[in-house]
Amino acid sequence: MSDMPPLRVLIVDDEAPARNRLRDLIGDCALKMQLEIAGEAANGRQALDLLSTCNADVVLLDIRMPEIDGIEVAQHLQKLEKPPAVIFTTAYDAYALKAFEVHAVDYLLKPIRVARLLDALSRARAVAPVGAEVLHELRREARSHLSVNERGRIHLIPLAEVLFLKAELKYVTVRTAAREFLLEESLARLEQEFLGRFVRIHRNCLVAKEAIRGFERGVAIDADGDGEGGWSVVLNHVAEKLPVSRRQQHIVREFGRIL
């Protein structure tokens, strides 16, 4: 035991008293095992920022937090090279608790007992990470952000900034007004998750409805010659035009914004 490096714990909770309490309890646990506090974060965004630098082995993650909740944080942190073990904390959440039991996900009920915390922390290294499928099950709502790993850091892209998603060979390109990102997810899954926000204009392309300025007679021609003679989408914020496939021509009429 003594030759193991101390377990580094990151505390994530939006309520200061809850973080204080966890700090006290981790202090108590540190008498029984090698522990170190890697940092504290007051919301999901801070947590993801810290995680890329603080080398945490375990995250104590509050579920109900503003903007990016705990389960979504767990979804994003999977993008890390070496994702930490996740232990959820919650005061009360009937739905999530049932799901945790079903999928044997580790969680602690607030107020947390020191014995339970010690137990969870000592198992943390051995516990298998929570799979993406299980997280999806725990939280059926769409994520508020997309995330990519850029040189070891998790970069969050607010969904409202996404103009379109385009499937390339292995990746999905995420286009915002400022730049592009490569996402390792399937376009079909993204379409399903963000139903209503995007419209499919092509086999390989989803466009944010809000980003559509209008439609133009075929200028853009893609590799399949699909755009030819057909329509293409003119976007807000960027000059790129996207071809509408023949199959999806009906959306031009549905939107009706012909330029």
Partner 1 sequence: MSINQNANTGALPNFRNLGILLRILVIVDGICLAAALLETSEPLALMEVLVGMSAQVQPILLLSLLLLAAANDLLQRLDYRRAVALLVAIEFCTATAMYFLGHHLFDAAGALERYWLFTLLITGVLIGYFDLRGRALSPALTEARLQALQARIRPHFLFNSINAVLSLMRQDPRRAEQVMEDLAEMFRVLMADNRQLTPFSQEIELAKQYLNIEQLRLGDRLRVEWDVVDFPGDALIPPLVLQPLLENAVYHGIEPRVEPGVVAISLRCERDRVRVVLRNPYRPDSEHHVGNRMALANIRERLALHFDSEASIKMVAGNDTYEVQIVMPYVTGRA
- Using CB under 8 A as the criterion, which residues of the chain lie in contact with partner 1 when the complex forms? 14-18, 20-21, 24, 43, 45, 64, 66-67, 91-93, 109-112, 141
Joined tokens for residue 75:
């979804």
Nearest-approach distance from CB 11 to partner 1, in angstroms: 12
Place of tokens 């969050």: 156
91 vs 115 by CB, closer to partner 1: 91
Nearest-approach distance from CB 247 to partner 1, in angstroms: 31
Nearest-approach distance from CB 94 to partner 1, in angstroms: 9
How many CB atoms neighbour CB 134 within 10 A? 18
Nearest-approach distance from CB 159 to partner 1, in angstroms: 11
CA atoms within 13 A on the CB side of 35: 27
24 vs 228 by CB, closer to partner 1: 24
Backbone φ/ψ region at 196: left (φ over 0), alpha (ψ -120 to 50), beta? left
Backbone φ/ψ region at 67: left (φ over 0), alpha (ψ -120 to 50), beta? left
Phi, psi of 242 (to 5 degrees): -115, 130
126 vs 195 by CB, closer to partner 1: 195
101 vs 228 by CB, closer to partner 1: 101
Phi, psi of 19 (to 5 degrees): -65, -40
- As a whole number of angstroms, the distance between CA 237 and CA 213 comes to 9
Nearest-approach distance from CB 113 to partner 1, in angstroms: 10
- As a whole number of angstroms, the distance between CA 141 and CA 7 comes to 32
33 vs 91 by CB, closer to partner 1: 91
Nearest-approach distance from CB 128 to partner 1, in angstroms: 28
110 vs 246 by CB, closer to partner 1: 110
CB-CB contact of 148 with 183 (8 Å): yes
State the burial class of residue 184 (Cβ atoms within 10 Å of its Cβ: 0-12, 13-18, 19+): exposed
Nearest-approach distance from CB 93 to partner 1, in angstroms: 8
187 vs 208 by CB, closer to partner 1: 208
State the burial class of residue 12 (Cβ atoms within 10 Å of its Cβ: 0-12, 13-18, 19+): buried
